[in-house]
Amino acid sequence: MPMFTPDEWQALRLSLEVAARSVLLSLPFAIAVAWLLARRRFLGRTLLDAAIHLPLVLPPVVVGYFLLLIFGTRGAVGAWLNEQFGLRLVFTTAGAALATAVMSFPLVVRAIRLSIENIDPGLEAAARTLGARAWDRFFSITLPLTLPGILAGVIVAFSASLGEFGAVITFVSNIPGETRTLPLALYTAIQTPDGDAAAVRIAALSVSLGLAGLLLSEWLARSVRRRFGS
Amino acid sequence: MLEFDCSLKRGDFSLEVAFSAPSPGVTALFGRSGAGKSTLVSLLSGLATPARGRIVLEGTVLLDTASGINVTAEDRAVGCVFQDARLFPHLDVRHNLEYGLRRIRGREAPIGFDLIVDLLGLAALLARRIRELSGGERQRVALGRALLAQPRLLLLDEPLASIDAERRDEVLPYFERLRDELRVPIVYVSHDFDEVLRLADHLVLLDRGRMIASGSVREMCLSEELHAIVGAGVAGTVLEGTVERIDSGARLATIRCGELALRIALTQLEIDSRVRLYVPADDVLIALEAPRQVSARNVLPVEITRLEVLNGSVLIHLAAAGTSLLARITHSAVRELDLAPGKRCFALVKAVAAQGRRFDRRPAAP
């Protein structure tokens, strides 16, 4: 068991924090967008579908650059956020969470959307005839039945967020204790003379984290199957 | 009273149906597949809206496109039991049952949880998950769930179609019980004539999106439109009467239907209870003279009122002491016996015939 330095522990803690914040940030939007794409036909639906999939096909550096343009201190949204709420995203942990959220968004939407598409619309119709209005129906029928997809989406998003590199380093740079997550710490170690030992330790940490994520998702999927039994 | 008058067009299919159904009671919407039964169900429940239409239930306007009234499915209080049950898989039986009951929004709730659990025999199932239920159990739970939502109208959309024929008898008696014990008007959609005979009071006959005939089941059994759909082999007569006498030694019961008394094989009948029997046209023979020493327990003097030619055989409409009977015989028999309207003859009805088909028992009218 290699001994980790305080910097490495910090990178781990930061990675987990960024990933958690990223998932919390993207989940409500992802559920809303997934529901719209699965259940509604509207003008611009194809465009929306394409737009949220962009991060999958663009180089992450390009996404990071766009974020910088929009959410940078001089960007339209960034300036407004700073003025109204004193919220600065560039060079901050919050910014790192935003960058990873945007990158993992299509993965979450995809998992949740598949799950919603698998729900028999007849169940929602039955709920209507039993007196459940739209929001009531969503929370009592649609959302619980989407739970397997939401769990899958959360795990995928969390794992992807732990590993996001390009968009993070472009948008919020590589600041120890603020935005230096595990992949960024690994990159730094590789760039440092005599950093080989550190690089191996960080890589090992990443592998264990990934493995734990996979095992957890497998276990969750199994318990969900038990519960809903198909 | 349910008044329905709607028209709608969807691609090649057009529907234009108007009927009224007495309530309380069971009205069957009967027709082959493609007749428009499912469309009618979505229109009644409010899950679909017609281009033009008007639906009035017990004086309450549920839909009137002319004046812009359209009570939504959520507020219509039309309980639905679908062919595929549509139970919520993430809830257990108890929570499925309570789903509608929790959403009645201040309407009166005369149909209680315990009553339904008792009536439908659900006590042992309450804690079960949906996937552990058999097809018949699912339909019973779906029925209970719909009833607990305190519906003004209960809509049953082929509730037995997805259940094996042998298992239907596990569910049908429950439908009969709730029909007899709750006062909720029921619309029963089916393409199975046996079910209709067993449950319905009133029959609306549908074909290719049109209503082609409607009336009481007794009247409709004599209608040529129905015979054309169910086929001559299924034709027969529904008789309603009271158990007048029970002869346990001979194992026969005498049923009085107006002036006609019919002897049938004894089943579990109580004296003075009201019964409905079905006499298949295939089981009625015609004789020109009253036969002696014959096995048929009923020899009735009748008069021929009408001959109906139907796919190679002839349905003879008979008047027997103020009641109608149908007999199905061949063309050659018609020729040989020289049968024609106005002719007097004798109808032979086997006692087991009526019993062999389904039997209905209802509590005596108060």
Report pLDDT for A229: 54
- B10 pLDDT higher than 90: no
Instruction: Break chain A into its structural domains and give their ranges.
Output: 19-179
* Confidence bin at B337 (pLDDT 50/70/90): very high
Q: How far is B55 from chain A (nearest CA, A)?
A: 16
pLDDT digits 0-9 by tens, B32-70 = 888 888 899 999 999 999 999 999 999 999 999 999 999
Q: How far is A137 from chain B (nearest CA, A)?
A: 10
Q: Which pTM does this prediction carry? A: 0.83
- B203 pLDDT higher than 80: yes
Q: Would you call B82 and A132 a contact, using CB atoms and an 8 Å cutoff?
A: no
Q: Would you call B86 and A123 a contact, using CB atoms and an 8 Å cutoff?
A: yes
Q: Would you call A129 and B84 a contact, using CB atoms and an 8 Å cutoff?
A: no
- B186 pLDDT higher than 80: yes
Angle CA(B323)–CA(B329)–CA(B331) in degrees, nearest 5?
A: 130
Q: How far is B73 from chain A (nearest CA, A)?
A: 5
Q: Would you call A131 and B105 a contact, using CB atoms and an 8 Å cutoff?
A: yes
Q: What is the pLDDT tens value at each position of chain A, 230 positions in all?
A: 557 888 889 999 999 999 999 999 999 999 999 999 999 989 999 999 999 999 999 999 999 999 999 998 888 898 899 888 888 888 899 999 999 999 999 999 999 999 999 999 999 999 999 999 999 999 999 999 998 889 889 988 998 888 899 999 999 999 888 899 999 999 999 999 988 899 999 999 999 888 888 888 888 878 877 766 54
The architecture (CATH level 2) of A19-179 comes to Orthogonal Bundle (1.10)
Q: Let me know how long chain A is.
A: 230
Query: Does B2-230 carry CATH code 3.40.640.10?
Result: no
Give the residue-averaged pLDDT of B210-231: 88
pLDDT digits 0-9 by tens, B79-94 = 999 999 999 999 999 9
Q: Which ipTM did the prediction report? A: 0.82
Q: Order of strands, edge to edge, in the sheet holding B359-362? A: B260-265, B252-257, B236-247, B274-280, B359-362
Q: Which residue has the tokens 């499912």?
A: B38
Helix-strand-coil percent breakdown of chain B, rounded to 5? 30, 40, 35
Which residue is closest to A123 within chain B, CA to CA?
A: B86
Report pLDDT for B251: 84
Report pLDDT for B361: 42
Instruction: Break chain B into its structural domains and give their ranges.
Output: 2-230, 237-362
Region of poorest pLDDT, from A101-105, B2-6, B268-272: B268-272
Which residue is closest to B47 within chain A, CA to CA?
A: A125
Which residue is closest to A224 within chain B, CA to CA?
A: B90
Among the partner-chain residues A122, A131, A229, the one whose CB lies closest to the CB of B100 is A131
- Alpha-carbon distance of A204 to A202, in angstroms, equals 5
pLDDT over 90, % of chain B: 49
- B353 pLDDT higher than 80: no
Among the partner-chain residues A131, A133, A230, the one whose CB lies closest to the CB of B149 is A131
CATH of B237-362, one of 3.40.50.410, 3.30.365.10, 3.30.2320.50, 2.40.50.100: 2.40.50.100
Among the partner-chain residues B86, B89, B145, the one whose CB lies closest to the CB of A228 is B89
Which residue is closest to B132 within chain A, CA to CA?
A: A229
- Alpha-carbon distance of A199 to A186, in angstroms, equals 5
Report pLDDT for A228: 65
Report pLDDT for B363: 41
pLDDT digits 0-9 by tens, B83-132 = 999 999 999 999 999 999 999 988 888 889 999 998 888 999 999 999 99
* Confidence bin at B358 (pLDDT 50/70/90): very low
- Alpha-carbon distance of B207 to B193, in angstroms, equals 15
Among the partner-chain residues A126, A133, A136, the one whose CB lies closest to the CB of B82 is A126
Among the partner-chain residues A122, A128, A144, the one whose CB lies closest to the CB of B90 is A144
3-state secondary structure at position B29 = strand
Task: Select from A130, A136, A137, A146 the residue whose CB has the most chain B CBs within 10 Å, as the one to mutate to test that interface.
Answer: A130
Compute the count of residue pairs across chains A and B with CB atoms less than 8 Å apart.
Answer: 65
